Amino acid sequence: MRHITDAMIDAAIGPEDAQAVLLDAFQRFGHDEAAMQERLRTEAGGVKLSTLGAVIPGQEVAGAKVYTTIAGQFSFVIVLFSSVDGRPLASFDAAAITRLRTAACSVIAARHLARPGAQTLAVLGAGVQGRAHAQQFARAFPLRRILVSSPHVDKARLREMQAECGVPVEGCSAETAVAQADLIVTASRAKQALFPGRLLRPGSFVAAIGSSLPTTRELDDEALSRASIVAVEWRPQALREAGDLVLADPAVLPAGKLVELADLVNGKARGRSSDDEITIYKGVGVGLQDVALAGLAYRRINAPDPECPQADDMRRPPPEGERKFGNGPSLPSEGPRP
């Protein structure tokens, strides 16, 4: 069984590729052609083990992501199987997949919930996810500037982000960024709301992706109350994990405000209908994203032609003696994850 590294994934998959395969996966999920396994966390001695997965027969893959959290740092691995014959296909480092899929789903949500002509992006949190979101949003929207708020950002980091995005990047406070932005991404480790919801401009879109813990939040009740739509990847997992929703006053989330991304992309739930609406996407990360993107990476890396939609190896019966699991190289250790 092959092991696929982060460097191999970055060389094979671009943001638009990730967005396309994830859009297909959520469309299939919305038509009951795919299934997800909720995240399960197990903890002892300060070490947390988390697992989540998905089965996507239309993309011919099934799999699971497994990761540890130690002192706030993450180490990810994905194991991918063929849904045609059940063979283990590959293991993945998965930090690159996590980075790509999170920002790609925010862009998918933004295409339904943000104003198409949005020009100012605010990024609250300049770690791996903040930078990934800045890059993908700069490619998807006609941005003229990016405002960054982070306690750890310096001028060198801002210059790097500007070079990556091709858009002027400025540092400022969270309040200043939010008050001027059309698009807001919260990608922080905050335990309390990052800004007062009253600062959101009419017509703004927020992608809140920094936390998947029920005890922490990045958005306050006023932000949720002012939003006409709050989209989530998958309702059962979001209502269990998203502190922004779990800790909110139920009155700010009346029936009908919370919609699933699959319903949004399939036209079963409405998207933005006016320029003045405030809309929110709350992402916690689901197994469907990891498995779909791992499947695409596997097909790209194993296909003789990068344009080939399916790797021959996915349909090939395994030769005698090759069905054993675990004969591949040992997995490299992962470094700290912002």
User: Which pLDDT score is estimated for 211?
Assistant: 87
User: Which pLDDT score is estimated for 72?
Assistant: 87
Give the count of beta carbons closer than 10 Å to the beta carbon of residue 200. 22
Which residues have CB under 8 Å from 319's CB, separation 6+? none
What does the block give as tokens for 181?
Answer: 């932005």
User: Which pLDDT score is estimated for 152?
Assistant: 85
Sheet containing strand 227-232, edge to edge, reads: 169-171, 145-149, 120-124, 183-186, 205-208, 278-282, 227-232, 258-260
Residue 77 near residue 67 (C-beta atoms within 8 A): yes
User: Which pLDDT score is estimated for 305?
Assistant: 59
User: Which pLDDT score is estimated for 313?
Assistant: 54
Model pLDDT for residues 58-71, shown as the tens digit of each residue:
999 999 999 999 99
User: Which pLDDT score is estimated for 304?
Assistant: 67
Which residues have CB under 8 Å from 254's CB, separation 6+? none
Query: If we measure between CA atoms, which residue out of 124, 122, 135 comes closest to residue 14?
Result: 135
**Spans of the chain below 50 pLDDT:** 306, 309, 317-338
Residue 76 near residue 98 (C-beta atoms within 8 A): yes
Supply the pTM of this predicted model: 0.89
Model pLDDT for residues 82-140, shown as the tens digit of each residue:
999 999 999 999 999 999 999 999 999 999 999 999 999 999 999 999 999 999 999 99
What does the block give as tokens for 254?
Answer: 């009346």
Burial class (CB in 10 A: 0-12, 13-18, 19+), 151: exposed
CA 70 to chain centroid, in Å, comes to 21
Q: Report all structural domains of the chain as residue ranges with CATH numbers, in order of start.
A: 2-98+287-315 (3.30.1780.10), 116-282 (3.40.50.720)
What does the block give as tokens for 135?
Answer: 């890059």
Residue 81 near residue 291 (C-beta atoms within 8 A): no
Q: Is the dihedral of CA 305, 308, 310, 316 positive or negative?
A: negative
Indicate the DSSP class of residue 307. T
Q: What's phi and psi for 308, nearest 5 deg?
A: -65, 125
Query: If we measure between CA atoms, which residue out of 121, 11, 20, 51 comes closest to residue 285?
Result: 51
User: Within 114-192, where are the H helices?
Assistant: 128-140, 155-165, 174-180
Give the integer Cα–Cα distance in Å for 290 and 78: 8
